Chain A
């Protein structure tokens, strides 16, 4: 299809106005443009890419890569290779991370140009009558045929904590900025952001204390998968305190006093910095949604159907603003669905396995049905577990605490879900996603030849357990 040249001037009306320049927004914009629609992508940031590129996935994974290197050098000791303690140059590290971001956002801007997506830097609000009010752009208003809300989410604050006003109390954005490496860090929240950033700072030299309100870390993953990760956290962190909440944070000149409360005790502790990672909230409060028929819940998450259409039939919403797992890849997929639906195609968000990956050491990944979800919904399943002690490749890399796990239908062996804990889980999980989406059965996986010696063998061998014994286990 012929691409239109990007027109920098803002027209009176556009076919599709995409609000938000994150992965969901740009994926939607590209898809809509590919269907020949006039697309305007509006973002209030200088660079497009959204939280994912600027303050989320990409910078955190850049830092986690460094963390992995540091862990590897430490681990090498037991393999007969000794390294000097590392010299860490925070400024150079920051620069490396920022370079990665710039490369990617420049690439995206070029793609917009190439695909005829008009980029507008402005704050957009709905003004009724299929109009957007633009703040900070050369035109005040922009009419739309359809609008896609893709404004994402932001970190939720603790009550009485203003991230902006505080230097020592950080949200994930501040933590990724890597202003300094504190001697002591309190991480509030045992979800994936708290664990990932806790590990980054620990590897860079901070003493990390982690508190979590619930009785375990990563509450939405199966406990058996989380266990190796929890054990590692116990080892790396100064302490991991479960069933504990932060009753107060008080910033002094050089420290933050945190009041940590558990069932039977309350203690005051001092930290140089605190990272609050207790959840995220949707960016829907300043969009002027009251000017539309869009419906949203008490927390501000927008209600949509399978086409991502809101109750206002000219407005679609995708990604974090609609709740769910708040994952970039989910948002991208949803963005494409919304764009196709607007282009009159028969599209729907019909996905059976959205993979979730936690980039800690060890990595944790799962997709489809989890064991605890099956229990909660009273779904009969069979669980197959392949411990990595039985994998030659895992032993050779010192990853014997890993595990591969299938959740299958007890009768047919139909793959319903997969869980992995261990190195490379981020890539290994993809086979599980495909298996669930294709409606594969355990036998399909068992009869598929996996390369030896690799961690992917554990996937095939785990499936063999459904048929009887695996070559190296059971």
Chain B
């Protein structure tokens, strides 16, 4: 008998993923552990191995689809039965195919229905389980889980959005899930999708009144970025501190060693030097290498120096983490940065490649810009943004006795969490950073 291979949580309570690649076709024979799908979960590509050996009968999705936990990815014929079928004569197989074609329409209808209503599918499975439980009271005992406390209307909203109440963080007393909790958890109301008026507060006007429009789905990376940044903006009291560093000498130094660094590892960029200087400043001001534990009212100081690096890719913004920046020399760092950027652009980053940063560095400068207000990437407490380093006239001396010199100046913008650091801390932090950037020789000594 054919069996179903369902999508299960690839880690950390994820609910859904986007199918990036399908490595098998209907009819492919796979071995336990073979990679059958690559999906994108929470910005990372994850390979999904087959937990079975057998022949793939039907693939229930296509590239670009969004799969949710418990969705059927494919149905397969387990090995022993599949072997028998392989021994079937060709004509028999042909006949089978014909039959399959006949029922295909029915199957398709069924599938469409399933797709349209995955929540319903889940519920049906739940009932099926219940019915099985009835037949086997012992199994029920084993599987018994108290229902999540929530009012009937909350449960209805969760059902419409295909949300399992067990996944929702409760805010009510003794773990009671409220409607607000379900709404915060997200999920699109299916009824809303079917055109019914929604209870959501923002209702969009009909844009077609003013001209032609098109609608693009918010795919995984865009969606995660949207969620993270709303959370950061909502929860973190951001303050931005701006200053300008004179990087004339630093750039001279960089150009001097660019070629040899390039030969050994990759592009020796300004970002890499700023990263080093940033670690130096963080060592002086450990509360910028921190996280806030609001529940326990504690500040967590980190004794490692990992820098998250914002990388623009054609699939969206990714922030891979460069580990142990303090322990890498400039060549090693150059190498690490260039491989990481390449992995990001090729969509090869794993989830763990994007976790555990001390602070994030974002450098849209090469594209232009004299100032920016970068948003903190939670659970970090600070982010450094770089503007465009430009050659500018700088006045040295005083009013009576001065000289104007061309200098390369780099705008810095530090976004910080005011719950953890104050304006004076930020000023000191940035000044220290500028000190390191303006004097490459001392920077060398410091790193």
Q: Are B150 and A409 in contact (CB under 8 A)?
A: no
With A350-B159, A441-B174 as known contacts, state yes or no: A306 contacts B124, CB within 8 Å.
yes
The size bracket of the interface on A is: 20 to 34
Q: Are A348 and B159 in contact (CB under 8 A)?
A: yes
Q: Which of B119, B141, B151 contacts A346 (CB 8 A)?
A: B119
B96 → chain A, closest Cβ, in Å?
22
Q: Are B124 and A307 in contact (CB under 8 A)?
A: yes
Q: In B87-121, which residues have CB < 8 Å from any A CB?
A: 110, 113, 117, 119-120
Q: Are B160 and A346 in contact (CB under 8 A)?
A: yes
CB 8 Å contact bits of A280-311 with B (1 = contact, 0 = none): 00000000000000000000000111110100
Is B127 among interface residues, defined by CB-CB distance under 8 A? yes
Is B85 among interface residues, defined by CB-CB distance under 8 A? no
Q: Which of A346, A351, A379, A441 contacts B117 (CB 8 A)?
A: A346
Q: Are B149 and A378 in contact (CB under 8 A)?
A: no
CB 8 Å contact bits of A56-96 with B (1 = contact, 0 = none): 00000000000000000000000000000000000000000
Q: Are B191 and A305 in contact (CB under 8 A)?
A: no
Q: CA–CA, A345 to B140, complex, Å? A: 30
Q: Are B141 and A377 in contact (CB under 8 A)?
A: yes
Q: CA–CA, A303 to B119, complex, Å? A: 20
Q: Are A412 and B175 in contact (CB under 8 A)?
A: yes
Q: Are A305 and B147 in contact (CB under 8 A)?
A: no
Return chain B residues, CB-CB under 8 Å to A346. 117, 119-120, 156, 159-160, 190-191
CB-CB nearest in chain B for A378: B141
Is B263 among interface residues, defined by CB-CB distance under 8 A? no
CB-CB nearest in chain B for A437: B152
Is B441 among interface residues, defined by CB-CB distance under 8 A? no
Is B128 among interface residues, defined by CB-CB distance under 8 A? yes
Select the residue from B127, B150, B194 with max chain A CB neighbours within 10 A.
Answer: B127
B193 → chain A, closest Cβ, in Å?
10
Q: Are B117 and A438 in contact (CB under 8 A)?
A: no
Q: CA–CA, A347 to B177, complex, Å? A: 19
With A306-B123, A346-B119, A379-B144 as known contacts, state yes or no: A441 contacts B173, CB within 8 Å.
yes
CB 8 Å contact bits of B24-35 with A (1 = contact, 0 = none): 000000000000
A300 → chain B, closest Cβ, in Å?
16
Return chain B residues, CB-CB under 8 Å to A412. 174-175
Is B126 among interface residues, defined by CB-CB distance under 8 A? yes
B217 → chain A, closest Cβ, in Å?
21
CB 8 Å contact bits of A402-438 with B (1 = contact, 0 = none): 0000000100111010000000000000000000011
Is B131 among interface residues, defined by CB-CB distance under 8 A? yes
Return chain A residues, CB-CB under 8 Å to B140. 377
Is A352 among interface residues, defined by CB-CB distance under 8 A? yes
CB 8 Å contact bits of B149-186 with A (1 = contact, 0 = none): 11110011001100000000000111111000000000
Q: CA–CA, A313 to B116, complex, Å? A: 15
Return chain B residues, CB-CB under 8 Å to A347. 159
Return chain B residues, CB-CB under 8 Å to A377. 137, 140-141, 144
Return chain A residues, CB-CB under 8 Å to B146. 379, 409, 414, 416
Return chain B residues, CB-CB under 8 Å to A378. 141, 144
B399 → chain A, closest Cβ, in Å?
74
Return chain B residues, CB-CB under 8 Å to A441. 173-174
With A344-B194, A377-B144 as known contacts, state yes or no: A307 contacts B120, CB within 8 Å.
yes
Q: CA–CA, A409 to B144, complex, Å? A: 14
CB-CB nearest in chain A for B175: A412
Return chain A residues, CB-CB under 8 Å to B124. 305-307, 309
Q: CA–CA, A348 to B162, complex, Å? A: 12
Is A223 among interface residues, defined by CB-CB distance under 8 A? no
Return chain A residues, CB-CB under 8 Å to B128. 305
Q: Are A350 and B191 in contact (CB under 8 A)?
A: no
Q: CA–CA, A378 to B141, complex, Å? A: 7
Is A439 among interface residues, defined by CB-CB distance under 8 A? yes
Q: CA–CA, A313 to B112, complex, Å? A: 13
Return chain A residues, CB-CB under 8 Å to B123. 305-307, 348
Return chain B residues, CB-CB under 8 Å to A341. 120
B170 → chain A, closest Cβ, in Å?
10
Return chain B residues, CB-CB under 8 Å to A409. 146
Q: Which of A309, A414, A416, A439 contacts B151 (CB 8 A)?
A: A439
With A438-B151, A441-B173 as known contacts, state yes or no: A305 contacts B144, CB within 8 Å.
no
Q: In A372-416, which residues have CB < 8 Å from any B CB?
A: 376-379, 409, 412-414, 416
Q: CA–CA, A344 to B173, complex, Å? A: 35
Return chain A residues, CB-CB under 8 Å to B151. 437-439
Sorted from nearest, which 3 A-B pairs have the closest CB atoms? A439-B149, A412-B174, A306-B123
In the complex, 19 of the A-B residue pairs with CB atoms within 8 angstroms, ordered by the A residue number, are A304-B127, A305-B124, A305-B127, A305-B128, A307-B123, A307-B124, A341-B120, A346-B119, A346-B160, A348-B120, A350-B156, A377-B140, A377-B141, A412-B175, A414-B174, A439-B150, A439-B151, A439-B172, A439-B177
